[in-house]
Each structure stands twice: as structure tokens, then as C-alpha cells.
Structure 1
Amino acid sequence: MGPLTGVLYGLLGIYLGGWFLGFWVGNFALLLFVLTMVTLGYWLAERFRFQPARAAAAAALTQQDAVRRAELSRMGIEKVDGDVADARRKLLMQPWWLDWTAGLFPVILAVFLLRSFLFEPFKIPSGSMIPTLLVGDLILVNKFHYGIRLPVINKKIIANNDPQRGDVVVFRYPVDTRVDYIKRVVGVPGDEVAYINKRLTINGQPVPVSPLPDFYDEDSRRYAQHFSEKLGDKEHQVLNDKDRPAFIPGAHEFPFSDQCSYTAEGVTCKVPQGHYFMMGDNRDNSQDSRYWGFVPDENIVGKAFFVWMNFGNLGRVGSFH
């Protein structure tokens, strides 16, 4: 079993190395599931085979030593050299390949359950959600808020809340479901969403906005127009770049694209049932539903709600809307 364990760890190293170097896109949920199943197999083997076998061998050694000492005592030899305690300890000792498999099972199982059904950490890789979320923010996502889903296949088995306008949501990118995106829900099923001349309208009603002092983006070293926007009962901040045009460049075909119409002033879409319209808060620097379409409900991962760390700015830690 030792050589087999070494091979498995070698394959794991190759997979993680290729993922880190960009040779392929990793699937952490699947990897964690596989690790849980493999270590479970080792744990069961240790619990019901290897550990009893070691205990039996140690008991046999102890019994043999007792028989030997009794035989020597009958021969008048009371002082017997040798102590089986060290040998017994070595027989009972768990080998390294079980330490690094069965021994890790409880930890991996706890992480798997926590990540799959309760909370999952993510890192913000881009500036599409500035000023709400900054590049480098490490956030927590509530996995059960929108219902309980089976890990890996993301199949909802217990319904809970539906995504609401204004929620910040992590979801699987419809163009490549191996990649996770984060945006704000702007339109729910049945809504007519219009983004015309950089102003948002839902079902014919303009979304209330109020101007704020210009926002300085330290990464791009540029100022942006800064607004407070209210979707439903949720108030948040958005940015606009006055130098960017109002029309949507580079939009492509996507499911239900016939529900959208594009003009020089922007885009208007009717959100189909079971889908959501997502937008970034950094409105002119966000690839979102205006470009690649609606997000199906089965792609929803969870609701983002808390920045738990930003190593460059500890003041970022806290909840957000």
C-alpha cells in the first residue's frame, strides 16, 4: 500500500502543479470530493483491517513473551533479558502512508462538508465589482442561502431563498462552467432590464441613483464617476467611466439572446424564467450579462456577504451589500 499511496500523491502533485501553471483549469470541488472518498477508503481499511491486524500481532507477541517467560520460570530461570514493549509499540505504530491518508480523512471530510453546504471562500481576481469589492479581497459565500445543492454537480435538492435584485452572487460562468464569476443580481425572472445611456431601468422604472464624489481607483490610477444606486431595499455604489461609450461592444450569441435588443445607447433584455441578469458594479469595466447573457439558476453557487481578509488593506474586513 505504501507504493500505491506514493503514486496517488504523485498524481495529486501533477494535477495541482498543472493547475497552478495554467496548463488546465482545476475543479476544486471535484478534487475535494475525490480526496474525501480516497481517504475514506483508507480510513475504513485502517479501522477494520490494518489496525486490528496490528493489534492482533502485538497481542500475539505479548502472549509469546508470556509463554516464554513462564517456560523459563519452570526451569528455575527468573531473570529474563529482553523487553517486548518497544517491539509491541512498533507493531502498533501506524505506517506513514496511513498517517497521510486515513489520518487526514476527518479533516478533509470537515472541509468538504463546510465548503459544500455552509460557506466557501473566494478571492476577487478582477476589478469588475469595484467599489463594492476590490482586487485581492478574500470573501465568504453563503452556500445554503439559495438552497442546498449537491457538491460537484451543483444540483439543488432543497430550495431556500431565491436570488433578489441587489444580491452579490457567485455563479458558474455560463460560457465555461469550470470558472466562477461574481456579479450583482440586477434582473430576476420576468424582469425587463434596460441599461440605456449608462442608466439602469427595471420594468420601466428608473433605478434611483444619487451622485457621490468621484472615486479614485488606485490600480488604474484614474477617477471614475461615482453613484449610490438602490435596487429594491439594497443600496450600493457603482462606477461609470465617462470616456467609455454607452453601446455594448463585443456582445455575442447566447441562449435566449433573442430576448435582448442592442442599440447605440445600450441594451434592453427580458429575463427568461429560471434565469438572472447580472452586472458588475464597475459598470464600464465589467464583462457581464450584457455581453454573455443570462445566468441559469443551476449555475448559482451562493450569496457573497463578507470580506474576511485583504492582505493589502486590513480595513476591508467586514460585511458588505
Structure 2
Amino acid sequence: MKLKFWQKDKGAAPKIKKTKSREWFDAIVFAVIAATIIRVFFIEAYTIPTGSMEKSLLIGDFLFVSKVNYGARIPMTPVAFPFAHHTMPITGTKAYWDGVQWKYRRLPGIQEIKRNDVVVFNFPDGDTVALEAQDRDYYEMVRSAGWQAVHSQYTVTSRPVDKRENYIKRCIGISGDVMSMSNGLVSINGKAEPMKNTGQIDYTVKFKSSDVNFSVFEEMGFIIERDIMAVSQDTYNFIGTPEMMDRVKKLDFVASVTTRTAKPGEAEPSIFPQDPNRKWNADNWGPIQIPKKGWTVKLDSATMPLYKRAIEVYEGNKLEKVAGGWMINGVKTDSYTFKMNYFWMMGDNRHNSLDSRYWGFVPEDHIVGKALFIWMSYSTEGSFFNKIRWSRIFRGIH
């Protein structure tokens, strides 16, 4: 017997039409999954909350950061609430569950991190946090106030690598580089690297008289009472880029322009590696060799202050001081071979930046991505429409 091809199969179940609420639910689930995949593996939006990268990046800039350039990092804490970093926006509770932790893995990237790249990374000192003072470095708080005072006053917790605060700085040194700084000038592998025109530092400017028309400086891009502060009647402290200060030097009413930096040998206790035997400050430090994967360092009293945290915390080894040397994971040794690459990050606003000068190396497993371009920028000053910095929209980051 022949069956007609159009004859309905009487055994087939009737198709159930989705309700409107079910359609909305499915659409939301799909959107969340798609957005999460894009954020984790391709591109993510960030904002600039502080002035540590001025003049290149301003407070109120919104950036797109590429995960593809250096290779997307596989989530190390996979169980987390979508679109929240480490804290739920309303309840203030943790936005992740650290009961499941995956080891560090990264997809292949299209480039290696280069010097002068603007990089987003997880704050290396953010493994321990005082919740009521999250904008402060826990370790610096302990050094200044003591462990007991901090733990009695604040709620202290730990965070996995990928749930630590996101920072953005410029990569000044890559793995294997030997870094130093003298009178505010960075040297890499023995070669002085003058600050680029995106960077700024403090200068002392002396005028020939106290009668100065400061509107000239506003036209150059300085902000009065922020970038220019009075020291005396004819002397002012300027914060500017080398290019801006070259223009100031050429003004006929300017007597002199000098870089204002700390003196060599004036110890600043908060400077990495917080070693009393090293009389370093933010403008004068080094030399420091940045660890590189496969590099072996000799363990002694000179190197351990520099590399102890990297060996113990970042690379997860049990480190013990014993008579005549060190033990790593129960084995006595006088050397260590690094398993990861490290980087040296600094802000462009050199005298207003918490960076590697204070907490040292950034391990490769903390790297989030490369800053690509500004998609929106607004100022806190002016009318609503004038707050938008139109000239910065879709501006590339260099």
C-alpha cells in the first residue's frame, strides 16, 4: 500500500508553542552566555578610575581591552556570577565560589607583551584584602600599622588570581630585562629610556618675576591648581610631559626649569622590595632583573628580598629559611628556576602612581589583556553635554 507523502504521521506528538515568558527567558540566557564568552575570550570594557596614567589616559575614559592579543586566559575561578568581578553590586558579598580552582592556562595570542604596551592585569598584591579599605594595599597597611592593628580593625579575606582588582599601567620592562631608575630616568639593560610624551613628572619652574599670565599655560594643556601649584612668589611646581615642559622653557619670562625628584640615597620604606639594606626611593632604585621563564637565580641575602614573593606566592612553593641556606618544598637548595615570565609595570603619571616600584613584578598569569582604544570619555566638570570629551572617543591607545 502506498502512503501519500503529505499524510500526517498520526504517532507524532504535537509541537508545543513556547510562551512569551519562556521565549524571553531563552533569549536572556543566550545573551548572557554570548556576552560572557565575548568578555572572557575576546574583548571587555573597562573604565579609568584614577589619574595614574595621565596624560595618556584620563579619569572617566572607558576602554575596550583585547583578550586576543596576548591570548585569552582560561577562567581560573570558573564558578562566578556573570558580569560581576569579585563583589556583588547590591549585597556586597562574593560574586564567585573558590571551591573550584583551575590551574593557569592561556590560549595562543597574536603577539607577546612588548615594552610600552598599555596592559590590564590583576593587582599582584591583591591576594589579601581588607574589605573596608579595598582601595589600599593590604601589605602596605600591615607594614605601616602592624598585622594585629589591621586584622582587628578590618575584615581580611583572600582572593584568587583572576578575582583580584584590575589595574592598568604601561609595561616598562619585559622578562629578562635589567631595570633601574636614576633621578626619575628609567634605564633598561643599561640604556637610558627618556620618558615618552605620554608620561609626566614634577618640575620646579622659576619665573623672572612674580607677574605671570597663567592663561598661557592653560593654552598649553595645563590645569591651574592641579598641574601648577605655587611654592613661592616666583617659583611653582609643574606637573607635565617632557614636550609640554620644553615649551615652558622657551617662554621669555621663565628663568629656569628643573626636574623635581627625590635624591639618591633617601630611603623610601614602601619601595619594593621594602629592604632596609637598599636605600631606594620612587625616583632612584635598582638594578633589578625581571624574572624570565627558565631563568635560574642564586638564592642569597641579596636576591631573596627581590624574588622571595615570586617564588613563594606567585609560583606556589613552600619556602623555608634554614641554617646555611634555603629549603624549597622540603629540599635544600641554593638556586631556583622560574616557571613563569614576569613584567615591570609603571604609570605614566610617575609621581602619582601605585605601580611596580611599590609591589614589584607582575606574573604572566595575572595578565588580563591589552588596552586597544577609548570608546567613551567624560569629565566630571561642565554641563551634561560638555562633559563628554568628544575628541577622545574611538581614540587609539599608544
Identity rate, percent: 32
Residue 287 of structure 1, aligned match among 354, 375, 379: 354
CA contact (8 A) 2:121 2:167 kept: yes
Measured in 2, the distance between the counterparts of 1:219 and 1:304 equals 30
CA contact (8 A) 2:169 2:345 kept: yes
Larger Rg: 1
Query: Which position in structure 1 is the counterpart of 2:285?
Result: 267
What's the CA shift for 1:118? 1.3
Query: Which position in structure 1 is the counterpart of 2:192?
Result: 206
Residue 145 of structure 1, aligned match among 48, 54, 69: 69
Measured in 2, the distance between the counterparts of 1:261 and 1:306 equals 39
**CA distances 1:61-102 after superposition (whole Å, capped 9, x unpaired):** xxxxxxxxxxxxxxxxxxxxxxxxxxxxxx845263x35532
Query: Which position in structure 1 is the counterpart of 2:376?
Result: 309
The TM-score with structure 2 as length reference comes to 0.49
**CA distances 1:270-292 after superposition (whole Å, capped 9, x unpaired):** 11111000000000100000001
User: Measured at CA, do residues 245 and 120 of structure 1 come closer, stay the same or move farther in structure 2, by a change above 3 Å?
Assistant: same
Query: Which position in structure 2 is the counterpart of 1:195?
Result: 181
**CA distances 1:161-207 after superposition (whole Å, capped 9, x unpaired):** 22110100000000114200000000111111112111111111111
Query: Which position in structure 2 is the counterpart of 1:103?
Result: 27
What's the CA shift for 1:141? 0.7
Query: Which position in structure 2 is the counterpart of 1:175?
Result: 125
Measured in 1, the distance between the counterparts of 2:351 and 2:272 equals 20
User: Measured at CA, do residues 152 and 102 of structure 1 come closer, stay the same or move farther in structure 2, by a change above 3 Å?
Assistant: farther
CA contact (8 A) 1:276 1:297 kept: yes
User: Measured at CA, do residues 261 and 316 of structure 1 come closer, stay the same or move farther in structure 2, by a change above 3 Å?
Assistant: farther
Measured in 2, the distance between the counterparts of 1:261 and 1:101 equals 60
What's the CA shift for 1:114? 1.4
Structure 2: gaps (5+ residues)? 1-11, 78-103, 127-160, 201-216, 229-237, 244-257, 293-340, 379-386
What's the CA shift for 1:130? 0.2
Residue 270 of structure 2, aligned match among 230, 251, 256: 251
Residue 227 of structure 1, aligned match among 242, 252, 259: 242
Structure 2 letter corresponding to 1:224? I
CA contact (8 A) 2:271 2:357 kept: no
SS in structure 2 of the partner of residue 101 of structure 1: helix
SS in structure 2 of the partner of residue 175 of structure 1: helix
User: Measured at CA, do residues 183 and 261 of structure 1 come closer, stay the same or move farther in structure 2, by a change above 3 Å?
Assistant: farther
SS in structure 1 of the partner of residue 120 of structure 2: strand
What's the CA shift for 1:210? 7.4
Query: Which position in structure 2 is the counterpart of 1:161?
Result: 111
User: Measured at CA, do residues 262 and 272 of structure 1 come closer, stay the same or move farther in structure 2, by a change above 3 Å?
Assistant: farther
User: Measured at CA, do residues 132 and 107 of structure 1 come closer, stay the same or move farther in structure 2, by a change above 3 Å?
Assistant: same
RMSD: 3.3
What's the CA shift for 1:160? 4.0
**CA distances 1:128-158 after superposition (whole Å, capped 9, x unpaired):** 0000000000011111101132135463132
Measured in 1, the distance between the counterparts of 2:105 and 2:268 equals 34
Whether 1:296 and 2:363 are equivalent positions in the alignment is yes
CA contact (8 A) 1:142 1:302 kept: yes
CA contact (8 A) 1:193 1:270 kept: yes
Query: Which position in structure 1 is the counterpart of 2:255?
Result: none
Whether 1:185 and 2:252 are equivalent positions in the alignment is no
Structure 2 letter corresponding to 1:94? T
Query: Which position in structure 1 is the counterpart of 2:325?
Result: none
CA contact (8 A) 1:225 1:242 kept: no
Query: Which position in structure 1 is the counterpart of 2:50?
Result: 126
Q: Of the two structures, which has the highest relative contact order with CA contacts closer than 8 Å and spacing of 6 or more?
A: 2
Query: Which position in structure 2 is the counterpart of 1:135?
Result: 59
Measured in 1, the distance between the counterparts of 2:60 and 2:267 equals 27
Whether 1:94 and 2:19 are equivalent positions in the alignment is yes
Query: Which position in structure 2 is the counterpart of 1:72?
Result: none
Structure 1: gaps (5+ residues)? 1-54, 61-90, 229-240
Measured in 2, the distance between the counterparts of 1:93 and 1:267 equals 67
Query: Which position in structure 2 is the counterpart of 1:42?
Result: none
**CA distances 1:210-232 after superposition (whole Å, capped 9, x unpaired):** 7898752479353413126xxxx
What's the CA shift for 1:251? 2.4
- Greater helix content: 1
Measured in 2, the distance between the counterparts of 1:180 and 1:243 equals 30
Measured in 2, the distance between the counterparts of 1:219 and 1:310 equals 22
